[in-house]
Amino acid sequence: MVTSNSNGSSKIRHCQNQVSPTVRSARERGRWVDRAGQWTDRVFGAGRSAGRTALRWAGVGVDRLVATSPARTALVAGAVGLALAAGSVALAGPWEGGQRAAERRAAAGSRPSSAPQPSPTPQRRPAAAVLKAAGATGPAGAAGSAGAVAPVPTRTGLHAALAEAMADPVLGSVTASIADAATGRLLYGSGETVPATPASTTKIGTSIAALTLLGGDHRITTRAVRGEDADEVVLVGGGDPTLTVLPRAKGSDPDTAPASLRDLADRTAAALKAAGTTSIRLGYDTSAYDGPVRHPYHDGENIAPVSALMADEGRIDPRGTSVAVRYEDPADQAAEAFAQLLRGRGLTVTAVRPRTAPAQAAELARVQSPTLARLVERLLTDSDNDLAEAVARQVAVAAATPVSFEGAAAAVRETLARAGVPLGATVLHDGSGLSRDNAIPPAVLTELLALAASADHPELRPVLSGLPIAGFTGTLQDRYASGTGADAAAGLVRAKTGTLNGVNTLAGLVVDRDGRLLAFALMARGGADALTVRAALDRIAVRVAACGCR
């Protein structure tokens, strides 16, 4: 069975050494600047040079963007906090990913089979007439000229604008929800309360639950502790799949750099030698997780066996991304790698085996993951299944539910319900969306996005900054291209993609022609091949972006 949660790109990039923007060549960075400068003109009416100047910050995360002037720096929705400053398309999130290998093979040679209809080109007022400064008061996402509130599209206007695109036969069965991000009020619905298979848009709920319960500063800890015997050391996994065997990049940011197994070996060896210990038996402890390690839809490429201890998401090649072949036992592999690192530091290591650490074990050393805020950005931008399941299990740990697929899904659902999200008939069986048995109504997805955009919940902002940008980052990098009928919205849509066999979904945010921030969710089942259906969904998003719809 082929399952996937990505965008259909044949270009797969992944930052191995740091959860942060990849460093680009001057020539490649220039191409991004040229394209994003054009986007800046179209959205803000600002001079292209200003957009390009801001884009020179392309090695910095969204939250650290320094803009060239207040007039060209604004947060969409005022208090929403979603940075649509000049050049932010290049800074949407630190990860650029693409299609998983299994899906790429299935989709090879596929192209949109129906001729796309011309789509309207979104026209924008200048930024100063549309957006408020970050600290301004008023409804989120709704600033207009002279402090006026940008008008909200009407239900009638949206129905008229979207009728033709929603009726495209290539979509198969399609349901949709469009809501005002400032208020969460439903503006347009077509089957919006009917549960549908969400695929990777499930990750939006997983991310919001984790940030709600744990906070963006939470980190996942991997420890080396003393075992029951004097010569025993136990490597204790805390559930960090980004733990890496690779060397730490020079000058890496501690908020974004993955925890290093080499650093843990350095610290452990130093502590043991200080205590006069030079020969050990090594155990490894995966007891932080319960239940089966294999996802019910495990295929060996889209997700590794889910263990509390793994390095580089269980990939056989820690630097590889195009074919994500995984170890059958990631925990054993990580422990063997740790043993080899300790040997390289002058210790004798024998008997690598599963063990449970004593309850009050003395800690020798520890390393910690990037902050949860950065992990959430990564899992959304790259549609990272391994990381999504790990983050869901962190929710389960905090909620004191079983730390398993079902336990984590229950903890996520309970957390969202307590946060006031009307979940309706939502059903969850995992945190990644690989399960075909998950069911989420489109209106629930727009409720989640509106919650993440709420001025009352700044802790959820990483959900917004992690959403891929159309035509530029993550799983939307190779969409909204010329010839699809959706290129007019490149850089204007930020959305999470979702793909399984016969299922295609898209949920995110867009600013309409009048400057109103809208949340949307589109969920298609059946229809044409995946690339054709995705292009049709993208054309619907273009209609929303181009619409004043009153």
What is the predicted pLDDT for the residue at 402?
Answer: 98
pLDDT in tens, the chain (550 residues): 444 454 343 333 333 334 433 333 333 334 333 434 333 333 333 333 333 323 322 232 333 222 322 222 233 333 333 343 333 333 333 333 333 333 334 434 444 444 455 556 555 433 222 223 222 233 445 444 333 589 999 999 999 999 999 999 999 999 999 999 999 999 999 999 999 999 999 999 999 999 999 999 999 999 999 999 999 999 999 999 999 999 988 888 877 899 999 999 999 999 999 999 999 999 999 999 999 999 998 877 889 999 999 999 999 999 876 557 899 999 999 999 999 999 999 999 998 999 999 999 999 999 999 999 999 999 999 999 999 999 999 999 999 999 999 999 999 999 999 999 999 999 999 999 999 999 999 999 999 999 999 999 999 999 999 999 999 999 999 999 988 889 999 999 999 999 999 999 999 999 999 999 999 999 999 999 999 999 999 999 999 999 888 8
Q: How far apart are CA 455 and CA 499, in angstroms?
A: 31
Same CATH fold assignment for domains 151-215+376-546 and 221-370: no
Q: Which helix (H) or strand (E) is 521 found in, with range?
A: strand 517-525
Calculate the CA dihedral of residues 537, 543, 546, 547 and round it to 10 degrees.
-130
Q: How far apart are CA 514 and CA 548, in angstroms?
A: 6
Which residues, including other chains, have CB under 8 Å from residue 108's CB and lie 6 or more apart?
none
What is the predicted pLDDT for the residue at 256?
Answer: 85
What is the predicted pLDDT for the residue at 120?
Answer: 64
Q: How far apart are CA 304 and CA 147, in angstroms?
A: 51
What is the predicted pLDDT for the residue at 49?
Answer: 32
Q: How far apart are CA 394 and CA 332, in angstroms?
A: 21
Q: Taking the model in full, what pTM does it have?
A: 0.79
What is the predicted pLDDT for the residue at 199?
Answer: 97
Q: How far apart are CA 318 and CA 312, in angstroms?
A: 6
End-to-end CA distance of the chain: 46
- The amino acid sitting at 258 is P
Q: How far apart are CA 150 and CA 91, in angstroms?
A: 26
Cβ atoms 361, 81 nearer than 8 A: no
Residue ranges per domain, the chain? 151-215+376-546, 221-370
CATH homologous superfamily of 221-370 equals: D-Ala-D-Ala carboxypeptidase C, peptidase S13 (3.50.80.20)
Cβ atoms 99, 4 nearer than 8 A: yes
Nearest residue to 177 (alpha-carbon basis) of 526, 543, 430, 521: 521
Torsion sign (Cα): 191, 195, 201, 207: positive
Which string of DSSP letters, residue by residue, matches 45-97? ---HHHHHHHHTTTTS-GGG---S-GGG--EETGGG-EE--TTGGGGS-S---
* CATH architecture of the region 151-215+376-546: 3-Layer(aba) Sandwich (3.40)
CB atoms closer than 10 angstroms to residue 251: 7
Alpha-carbon separation of residue 278 from 128, 176, 290, 478 (angstroms)? 66, 63, 34, 52
Cβ atoms 468, 9 nearer than 8 A: no
Active site residues: 200, 203, 383
